[in-house]
Amino acid sequence: MQIQIFSKVARTTESIDANSVDLQSPSIVRLKIAPESVRSFERHGADLKQVLLNGETVLVQNFFLHDD
């Protein structure tokens, strides 16, 4: 799975090929998947888990964290 991470703090872009990413700062996450291939989105604490129709899962750790 191709994942692009745009850091809002460092103003950098990182591309990785993985099914899981751990965000370290506020970021924009772009996944290279078609919307119609997503079965569900699930929140698990601070993490976002996406389940695709083909059974594959994508985990974005710390997706729901924010600074107070």
In this predicted structure, the answer to whether residue 68 has a pLDDT above a threshold of 90 is no
Alpha carbon separation from 2 to 15, 17, 18, 27, 58 (Å, rounded): 7, 5, 7, 16, 10
Coil, helix or strand at residue 4: strand
Query: Cα 49 from chain centroid?
Result: 8
Mean pLDDT of the chain: 93
In 3D space, the residue among 1, 46, 50, 52 whose CA is nearest the CA of residue 26 turns out to be: 46
Domain ranges of the chain: 2-61
- Asked whether 52 and 37 are in contact (CB, 8 A), the reply is yes
The predicted structure's pLDDT at residue 18: 94
pTM of the predicted model as reported, rounded to 2 decimal places: 0.86
What is the mean predicted confidence (pLDDT) over 24-44?
Answer: 94
